């Protein structure tokens, strides 16, 4: 009896411990309806990510070769130009190039399952961002709670999740790293600038240089955020009238990317005037250009004044094409279709993006996101909408910047972020963004012309019922027999002569690639 009592007591204690640990453990994303299509990377080496990389003469060069496959991998680069070296065990290419030019190298990755080789072009000149940026940004999951340790953990997760092996490169802090005047939170208060006017980080970021050193040591690059106004959108100290000093500080701290968010600049400039819209960006890019460091400039001004028509001219490597995709948590699905499909087709945005300057429809809002009510919760997008999101971004050559919780990646979200054949479309070196070729009620066909003469084709269904969607060769501009491949599944579907039809789920997509028979 006593024994039974004791064992029941023990069972109760164990159940209590288990339920406590379950309730404190991170929530699991429910797997209902989430069909993973992306095959897992094999053990043999495969080189991924961008095939072309720009650097300015004299700037420090850093590029880590992204490759999947069993470790250890030995990396080699054939025809690496003088001034650069490759670390054979990490795949980090570092050094400096002084002479402008295009250097064609062959990157090789070898493990005990085999060898992979691929051409990798290094272009030393004025253009950076020869393919859209890939990375992570803190905003949509951490908003105003971001800290140094969150950034380091994000960098760690970029490596441990394997995202780095698929080409993801930037770890970007968004708003809320500088002092917030008038805040009653002691971690945000303090002197906004030092005696010489150099901007200070707030107490949540005790040592920016040490943080970027850490991010770089993992083979990643670091990004920061500010505004041309006096304050950022969240009311933190920004760059107005301190532009030179703030860029100098970002260089001293070791940043590689700057998001420059209009926000309170409306108090300085008139957003109805093109000249005023351009002025702060011209100023900051001319300062950045003088630095001995390559810093990507992301214009964030929500598409005002048709920024896509001049974003590159004022020195931007990318520009937001609309407002915040996740401004309202519940509205992300709607915004995806509006800012993704509608804005792009209405304004023919494909005419403007390209190597060195990309349309940016905002971040990938999948995985765990802030619901703006103090919790991080799974994206409101259905699994099919998530496929649509990533597919459309790759067709329109958008930056692939994930902004969910990278330390809490479920298999489904990871599979969406790491499909190398989808990423290959996004990163295609020709850099021609895709566009809509046909719309039939709620279904749309989008295409993107790729460097090897093939085409990516997205069959989208925006409707509330499953639908058949057909890519008709004549409409998409191909003739004759085409080899058709399903990119999410990474499977050939066969040869087709005048069209291809597929059933597409509600709000879903089928992503194809078509090669003419002779390729």
Identify whether the C-beta of residue 235 lies closer than 8 Å to the C-beta of residue 226: no
Using the contact rule CB under 6 A, the part of the chain among 178-186, 189-197, 230-238, 408-416 near ligand GLA is: 230-238
CA atoms within 13 Å, Cβ hemisphere of 195:
0
Binding mask 171-210 for ligand GLA (x = CB under 6 A): ---xx-----------------------------------
Of 302 and 352, CB closest to ligand GLA:
302
- Binding to ligand GLA, residues 461-490 (CB under 6 A): none
Least Å distance, CB 143 to ligand GLA, is 7
Q: How far is the CB of 91 from ligand GLA (least distance, A)?
A: 32
- Nearest approach in angstroms of CB 196 to ligand GLA is 27
The residue among 503, 437, 510 whose CA lies nearest residue 465 is 503
Q: Report the nearest approach of ligand GLA to the CB of residue 261 (Å).
A: 5
Stretch that binds ligand GLA, among 89-97, 163-171, 229-237, 499-507 (CB under 6 A): 229-237
> Parallel, antiparallel, or unpaired for β 84-86 and 114-124?
unpaired
Which candidate, 476, 464, 482, 472, places its Cα nearest to that of 502? 472
Please count the residues of this chain forming the interface with ligand GLA, following the rule CB under 6 A: 9
Nearer to ligand GLA, 51 or 236 (CB): 236
What are the distances in angstroms from CA 368 to CA 24, 365, 406? Answer: 16, 8, 8
Question: Is residue 135 a contact partner of residue 170, using CB atoms and an 8 Å limit?
Answer: yes
∠ CA 392-393-397, rounded to 5°:
115
Across 238-295, where does the E strand assignment appear? 257-261
Closer residue to ligand GLA in complex, CB, 116/263: 263
Beta carbon nearer to ligand GLA, 174 or 410: 174
Element (H, E) at 343: helix 343-346
Q: Name which of 257 and 515 has its Cβ closer to ligand GLA.
A: 257
Yes or no: say if 473 and 482 are a contact pair by the CB < 8 Å rule: yes
Q: Which residue has the tokens 């002779």?
A: 518
CB contact set of 320 (below 8 Å; sequence gap of 6+):
298, 299, 300, 301, 302, 303, 307, 360, 361, 362
Instruction: Give how far Cα 65 sits from Cα of 18, 51, 109, 112, 118, Å.
Output: 43, 10, 9, 18, 11
Is 156 part of the annotated catalytic residue set?
no
Please state, in angstroms and rounded to a whole number, the distance separating the CA atoms of residues 515 and 519: 6
When asked if residue 300 is in the footprint of ligand GLA (CB under 6 A), the reply is yes
What radius of gyration, in Å, describes the C-alpha atoms of the chain?
Answer: 24
- C-alpha span between 146 and 207 (Å, rounded): 14
Whole-Å CA distances, 419 to 163, 377, 425? 10, 24, 10
Q: Pick between residue 120 and residue 302 the one whose CB is nearest to ligand GLA.
A: 302
CB-nearer residue toward ligand GLA: 246 or 261: 261
Active-site hit among 261, 339, 426, 428: 261
Question: Shortest gap between Cβ of 499 and ligand GLA (angstroms)?
Answer: 40
Q: Which is nearer to ligand GLA, 45 or 361 (CB)?
A: 361
The dihedral through the CA atoms of 212, 243, 280, 235 has a sign that is positive
Of 87-95, 202-210, 232-240, 473-481: span binding ligand GLA (CB under 6 A): 232-240
- Report whether the peptide linkage leading into residue 72 is cis, meaning its omega lies within 30 degrees of zero: yes
The span of 231-239, 311-319, 443-451, 465-473 binding ligand GLA (CB under 6 A) equals 231-239
Binder of ligand GLA out of 233, 322, 335, 423 (CB under 6 A): 233
The interface region with ligand GLA, picked from 5-13, 226-234, 393-401, 500-508 by CB under 6 A, is: 226-234
Catalytically annotated residue among 324, 339, 405, 426? 324
- CA dist., res. 83 & res. 96, Å (int): 5
Q: Kindly report the backbone phi and psi dihedral angles of residue 160, in degrees, each rounded to the nearest multiple of 5, phi listed first.
A: -70, -30
Min. distance of Cβ 233 from ligand GLA in angstroms? 3
Least distance between ligand GLA and beta carbon 321 (Å)? 11
Question: Residue 174 CB, nearest distance to ligand GLA (Å)?
Answer: 5
Spatial distance between the Cα atoms of 129 and 421, rounded to a whole number of angstroms:
20
Judged by CB under 6 A, the chain residues 136 through 165 that form the site for ligand GLA are 139
Pairing of strands 400-402, 221-226: unpaired
Among 243, 256, 294, 324, binds ligand GLA (CB under 6 A): 324
Least distance from C-beta 309 to ligand GLA, angstroms? Answer: 20
Contacts with ligand GLA in 244-273 (CB under 6 A)? 261
Q: Which is nearer to ligand GLA, 73 or 173 (CB)?
A: 173
Distance between CA atoms of 352 and 312, rounded to whole angstroms? 9
Contact 468, 504 (CB under 8 A): yes
Select from 195-203, 227-235, 388-396, 451-459 the region that touches ligand GLA (CB under 6 A): 227-235
For this structure, is 165 an active site residue? no
Task: Single out the residue of 234, 349, 390, 416 in contact with ligand GLA (rule: CB under 6 A).
Answer: 234
Q: Which residues are catalytic?
A: 261, 324
For binding to ligand GLA (CB under 6 A), which residues are involved?
139, 174-175, 232-234, 261, 300, 324
């Amino acid at each position: 009896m006593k024994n039974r009592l004791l064992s029941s007591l023990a069972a109760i204690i164990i159940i209590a411990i288990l339920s406590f640990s379950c309730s404190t453990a991170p929530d699991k994303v429910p797997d209902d309806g989430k069909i993973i299509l992306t095959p897992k990377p094999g053990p043999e080496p495969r080189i991924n990510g961008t095939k072309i990389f720009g650097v300015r003469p004299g700037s420090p060069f850093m590029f880590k070769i992204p490759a999947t496959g069993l470790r250890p991998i030995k990396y080699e680069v054939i025809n690496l130009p003088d001034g650069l070296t490759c670390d054979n065990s990490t795949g980090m290419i570092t050094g400096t190039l002084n002479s402008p030019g295009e250097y064609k190298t062959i990157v090789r990755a070898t493990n005990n399952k085999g060898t992979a080789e691929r051409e990798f072009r290094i272009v030393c000149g004025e253009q950076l961002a020869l393919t859209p940026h890939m990375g992570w940004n803190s905003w949509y999951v951490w908003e105003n709670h971001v800290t140094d340790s969150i950034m380091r953990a994000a960098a760690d997760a970029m490596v441990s999740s394997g995202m780095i092996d698929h080409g993801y490169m930037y770890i970007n802090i968004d708003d809320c790293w500088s002092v917030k005047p008038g805040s009653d939170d002691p971690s945000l208060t303090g002197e906004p600038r030092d005696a010489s006017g150099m901007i200070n980080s707030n107490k949540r970021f005790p040592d920016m240089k040490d943080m970027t050193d850490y991010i770089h040591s993992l083979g990643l690059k670091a990004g920061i955020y500010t505004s041309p106004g006096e304050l950022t959108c969240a009311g933190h100290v920004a760059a107005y009238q301190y532009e030179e000093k703030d860029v100098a500080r970002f260089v001293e701290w070791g940043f590689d990317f700057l998001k420059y968010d209009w926000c309170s600049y409306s108090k300085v400039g008139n957003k109805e005037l093109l000249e005023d819209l351009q002025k702060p960006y011209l100023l900051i890019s001319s300062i950045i250009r003088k630095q001995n460091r390559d810093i990507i400039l992301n214009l964030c001004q929500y598409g005002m004044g048709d920024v896509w028509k001049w974003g590159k001219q004022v020195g931007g490597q990318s520009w937001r094409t609309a407002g915040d995709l996740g401004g309202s948590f519940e509205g992300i699905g709607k915004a995806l279709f509006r800012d993704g499909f509608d804005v792009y087709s209405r304004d023919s945005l494909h005419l403007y993006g390209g190597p060195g300057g990309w349309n940016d429809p905002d971040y990938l809002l999948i995985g765990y996101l802030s619901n703006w009510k103090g919790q991080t919760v799974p994206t409101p997008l259905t699994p099919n909408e998530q496929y649509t999101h990533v597919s459309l971004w790759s067709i329109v050559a958008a930056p692939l910047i994930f902004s969910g919780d990278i330390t809490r990646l479920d298999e489904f979200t990871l599979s969406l972020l790491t499909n190398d054949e989808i990423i290959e479309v996004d990163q295609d070196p020709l850099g021609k963004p895709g566009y809509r070729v046909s719309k039939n009620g709620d279904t749309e066909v989008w295409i993107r012309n790729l460097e090897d003469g093939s085409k990516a084709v997205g069959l989208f269904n925006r409707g509330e019922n499953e639908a058949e969607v057909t890519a008709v060769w004549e409409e998409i501009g191909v003739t004759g027999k085409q080899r058709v491949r399903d990119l999410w599944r990474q499977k050939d579907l066969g040869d087709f002569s005048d069209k291809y039809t597929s059933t597409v789920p509600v709000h879903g997509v089928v992503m194809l690639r078509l090669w003419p028979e002779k390729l």
